[in-house]
Amino acid sequence: MNLLDPQGPVAAANSTILVDSVFIMLVIVVPTIFAILAFAFWFRASNPKARYQPEFVYSGRVEMVVWAIPALTVILLGGVAWIGSHQLDPAAPVPGTGSPVRIQAVSLDWKWLFIYPDQRIATVNTLTVPVGAELNFQLTSSSVMNTFFIPQLGSMIYTMNGMVTKLNLRADNEGKLQGLSAHFSGDGFPDMMFDVNVISPLAFPEWVAATAKTDAVLNADSYKKLMQQGIEKGRPVYRLDDPRLFDLIATQHIPPGPGPELASEAGRSHSGGHDAR
Amino acid sequence: MLGKLDWSAIPFDQPIPLVAGAVVLVAILAVLIWVVVKGHLPYLWREWITSVDHKRIGVMYILLASVMLLRGGSDAIMMRIQQAVAYQSQGYLPPEHYNQIFSAHGTIMIFFVAMPFVIGLMNLIVPLQLGVRDVAFPTLNSVGFWLTATGALLVNISLVVGEFARTGWLAFPPLSELSYSPGVGVDYYAWSLQISGVGTLLAGINLVTTVLKLRTKGMNYLRMPMFCWTTLASNLLIVAAFPILTATLAMLLLDRYLGFHFFTNEAGGNVMMFMNLIWAWGHPEVYILVLPAFGIFSEVVSTFSGKALFGYRSMVLATMAICVISFMVWLHHFFTMGAGPDVNAIFGIASMIIAVPTGVKIYNWLFTMYGGRIRFATPMLWAVGFMVTFIIGGLTGVLVAVPPADFMLHNSMFLVAHFHNVIIGGVLFGAFAGFEYWFPKAFGFRLDERWGKAAFWFTFLGFYVTFMPLYIVGMLGMTRRMQHYDVAAWRPWMIVAAVGMAVLTIGVICQIMQLVVSIRNREALRDRTGDPWDGRSLEWATSSPPPVFNFAFHPDVRGEDAYWAMKAHARQQSFEHEVPEYQDIEMPRNSPTGFVCAFFATIMGFALIWHIWWMVILGGIGAFATFVVFAWRDHDEYVIPAEEVARIDRVNLEERRSLVSMAGAV
């Protein structure tokens, strides 16, 4: 999950900006730290060679330099930030080879649901994508906020109930990656890690066909079961019944997840939660 | 009768909070019994609890902060151990505990450690530096302190009665809404902050008024010590920002208590509004904390370099620039919400712009040291340690202000490392520097240097060993608030961080030892001059500890570094002043208003949390009645007769003159 080992163009650009910004600042920061230590050491009271200049309390030239150095650094970095923000806008397309793959991600308590509306399938806690293709994500949440993040593919983005965020990524190398939620969402939050399988464009249709053979069907009813609070250790897959399921979730036609089951008293007996509402 | 409260609220089956709570309770009871048996209670009541003396209130603020630092530090130790052991396992803390602990850690460290520590130092020192006898509203000051203590008390009650929030220290909805957090944890969080927030706002209004309206003769704005300037800036921010926090939490509470829909998923509530509002307070809050620390470092660096602060006016400008710009950058806390490139870029650049005045400050301290004659007493060690550490925190801060970099680092352990880098390296180092520097002023004896230096080195090294690994795991994709994890690459770094936490703990122990040793050796460490560091500003012009009226005469200020100038002037002339004409001094009477009001506020807060409505009404009426009684008071001041002033001041003068003549003889 090393950020400096990017597996796609977005992560590569992000980490380049990250590293470049650090170097731009180090040019200023390292000499400053040295100067602090050097001045502190040289002008120690016990050093007879250091010249005591109690009247050296203002110098226009020094002031100009000390305002100019940080200002120039910030102008340079501001340029990086402006250009970077526009080029790496999560909503901006990331051209790839072959046809783009649309993926609709829903954060549930506490698992990830990935819907492939064009392929009519859905998976939980596993994201399978073809190498090199443009990946168009639409994201929402079934209940609380989460953040969708695959560190080696780049930019993260919030998922929020009743809203859709957009993210475009591309994976350039086959292999297994990991993703996670980067926004605390409750007791099962650390188990919201998911697998990312990047497979060849030829293997992708085969995987889709194999997945579509499953008996499990994802529709509004099975989705409501899935969004109950709980941790999913398995990797269930579904055939997608209605390709508009994501829209029904995002527009709240399917109401938000219920939160903790008030019937189960265990684990909340100390919280005073039992007669809330 | 008792709302939601019943015996199930006490976690009898969970040993950790119960044992911790029992230990604290026994300790408190033991102290109380000792106080009563030894007959100290009347003294405590008369001299401290009802005191409206800014110095006493400042000391109590710092005491509160120190006690809460131990509580928040215990949380930190538990978190570091959990993350060190919870690799492919659940560790020793189940999620519902771990989540409370990190939420409580953040809440306590910001609201009940950092805030009272800096407000305490400002209270203690600013009136002395301004050459005045008290703050603008002494009784309000006491109310502010006791309401802050109420908030701290409620947070600690949640340890054994019910639970604390499990939502993180900013309680983001919808997780903090009733549907997803049905327990009382979020209510404990919100009501503690509402009550202590009132206290903070009162402190802010009080200190702004003090700096603007109460300055001694000749103390122009551009002659004020830097600490007064940063106090002004910080408290202006308090006055502007804390109402936002209060309003935001009020909306959350309306959602939770009365079925409103400000931030719910349903009925058009909008979580993004909460994000914006909470950070519109939250970002200025960062500067509320760090500006006073900048002020402390300015005083310390200048005093121990034996030079006036370099580029004073430039520093004033930088301070006020930070004060203004800090209100314009809040969106950088959620670049990853999908706001769009223009918005992200503009807020990113605005955030970087703050780094300019901050950088200027670093350089001005640097040039204050240049040509100085630097004495490395403990406060100066903290200052140099701060400069080095804070630059690194600034670097990583500007880094996460670059939106594309933030897209990778947001909410990660890198971010955790960054804000600890600036809050520990900036605010906490500043608080410790101020503590060491002004302790002799408050109590009349210096702190032990050997333990103080040990505390610095352990804390300094411990900080790096704890938080540099967190930068690294952040770069390895680790996000914050993970109760357990399965990624092997993170493990070694979490173990190193736990070791670092042990080193930090040794630092804290040294700090406590320093206090114990210094109190035992106080006669040897006694400061009879009132000016143990060869200081430059007016707080050193009076005795240590200062008399209740601070100054027998309002000092006459003729330039920057007022006391330095007075000393230089006195050296040129002979020391034999004509005998001054002492006059009666009017001082505010002590008042139990603050304590009584906070007592009722505690009852009301507790009752609100547990839905005990009759008790809410009782507490509310009690708190209001306290104010009414105070408002109808007949005598609010008492007079210290001129002879008494003369007696106190002569002792002080004698002491100083004898010391000066001794120094002259040498």
Cβ of residue A197 closer than 8 Å to a chain B Cβ? no
Task: Give the mean model confidence (pLDDT) for residues B240-248.
Answer: 95
Interval B587-610: pLDDT, tens: 988 989 999 999 999 999 999 999
Q: Which residues pair with A181 in a beta bridge?
A: A148
Question: If chain A, 277 residues long, is cut into consecutive pieces of 10 residues, what is the mean pLDDT of each piece?
Answer: 90 92 91 94 90 89 90 90 91 90 93 94 94 94 94 93 93 94 92 94 94 91 89 90 91 88 47 42
Looking at residue B473, what is its pLDDT?
95
Q: Residue A12: in which H helix or E strand, if any? A: helix A9-42
Cβ of residue A46 closer than 8 Å to a chain B Cβ? no
Of the partner residues A4, A36, A276, the one whose CB lies closest to the CB of residue B384: A36
**B662: pLDDT strictly greater than 80:** no
Give the C-alpha separation, A153 to A7, whole Å. 6
B605 and B150 in contact (C-beta within 8 Å)?
yes
Q: Which of B445, B315, B460, B441 is nearest to B381 (CA)?
A: B460
Looking at residue A273, what is its pLDDT?
44
| B561 Cβ neighbours under 8 A, 6+ residues apart | B225, B302, B308, B536, B537
Interval B20-37: pLDDT, tens: 788 888 888 998 899 889
Q: Chain A: nearest CA to B616, how far in angstroms?
A: 18
Query: B565 falls in which pLDDT band (50, 70, 90)?
Result: confident
Q: Chain B: nearest CA to A238, how far in angstroms?
A: 26
Query: B2 falls in which pLDDT band (50, 70, 90)?
Result: confident
Query: B419 falls in which pLDDT band (50, 70, 90)?
Result: very high
Q: Do A187 and B349 touch (CB under 8 A)?
A: no
Task: Give the mean model confidence (pLDDT) for residues B525-551.
Answer: 88
Give the C-alpha separation, B107 to B192, whole Å. 10
Q: Three-state DSSP class for B210?
A: helix
Of the partner residues B14, B99, B345, the one whose CB lies closest to the CB of residue A85: B345
**B130: pLDDT strictly greater than 90:** yes
More confident residue, A272 or B159: B159
Percent of all residues in chain B with a pLDDT value above 70, rounded to a whole number:
97
Q: Do B349 and A267 touch (CB under 8 A)?
A: no
At position B146, the amino acid (one-letter code) is W
- The DSSP secondary structure of A209-258, one letter per residue, reads HHHHT-S-EESHHHHHHHTSS----S--EEEES-TTHHHHHHTTSSPPP-
Percent of all residues in chain B with a pLDDT value above 90, rounded to a whole number:
70
Looking at residue A262, what is its pLDDT?
53
Chain A's closest residue to B484, CA to CA, is A190
Give the C-alpha separation, B459 to B501, whole Å. 9
Task: Give the mean model confidence (pLDDT) for residues B382-404.
Answer: 94
Q: Which of A136, A254, A132 is nearest to A204 (CA)?
A: A132
Q: Do B360 and A66 touch (CB under 8 A)?
A: yes
Q: Do B411 and A269 touch (CB under 8 A)?
A: no
Q: Which of B477, B476, B411 is nearest to A145 (CA)?
A: B411
Looking at residue B12, what is its pLDDT?
78
At position B627, the amino acid (one-letter code) is F
Q: Do B486 and A256 touch (CB under 8 A)?
A: no
Q: Chain A: nearest CA to B385, how far in angstroms?
A: 10
Task: Give the mean model confidence (pLDDT) for residues B341-368.
Answer: 93
Structure tokens at B593: 């208003």
Task: Give the mean model confidence (pLDDT) for residues B578-585.
Answer: 78
Q: What ipTM describes this predicted complex?
A: 0.91
Looking at residue B471, what is its pLDDT?
95
Interval B603-650: pLDDT, tens: 999 999 999 999 999 999 999 999 888 888 888 888 889 888 888 888
Q: Is the dihedral of CA B465, B467, B471, B473 positive or negative?
A: positive
Q: Do B168 and A161 touch (CB under 8 A)?
A: no
Within 10 angstroms of residue B613's Cβ, the number of other Cβ atoms is 11
Q: Three-state DSSP class for A198?
A: strand
Residues of A in contact with B356 (CB under 8 A): 67, 70-71, 74
Q: Chain A: nearest CA to B43, how far in angstroms?
A: 40
Which of A66, A80, A164 should be substituted to probe chain B, the one whose Cβ sees the most B Cβ atoms within 10 Å? A66
Structure tokens at A199: 């497979």
Torsion over CA of B506, B510, B511 and B513, rounded to 10 degrees? 130
**B246: pLDDT strictly greater than 90:** yes
Query: B206 falls in which pLDDT band (50, 70, 90)?
Result: very high
Looking at residue B4, what is its pLDDT?
82
Cβ of residue A68 closer than 8 Å to a chain B Cβ? no
Looking at residue A229, what is its pLDDT?
87
Q: Do B265 and A252 touch (CB under 8 A)?
A: yes
The region that residue A153 occupies, defined by phi over 0 for left and psi between -120 and 50 for alpha, beta otherwise, is: alpha
Q: How does B32-67 read in b/e, with b if 16+ C-beta sit within 10 Å? A: eeeeeeeeeeeeeeeebbbbbbbbbbbbbbbebbbb
Q: Do B387 and A36 touch (CB under 8 A)?
A: yes
Looking at residue B663, what is its pLDDT?
55
B483 and B82 in contact (C-beta within 8 Å)?
yes
Judged by CB atoms within 8 Å, which residues 209-228 of A form the interface with B?
A: none
Interval A192-219: pLDDT, tens: 999 999 999 999 999 999 999 998 999 9
Q: Indicate the DSSP class of residue B48.
A: I
Q: Indicate the DSSP class of residue B326.
A: G
Residues of A in contact with B374 (CB under 8 A): 40, 43-45
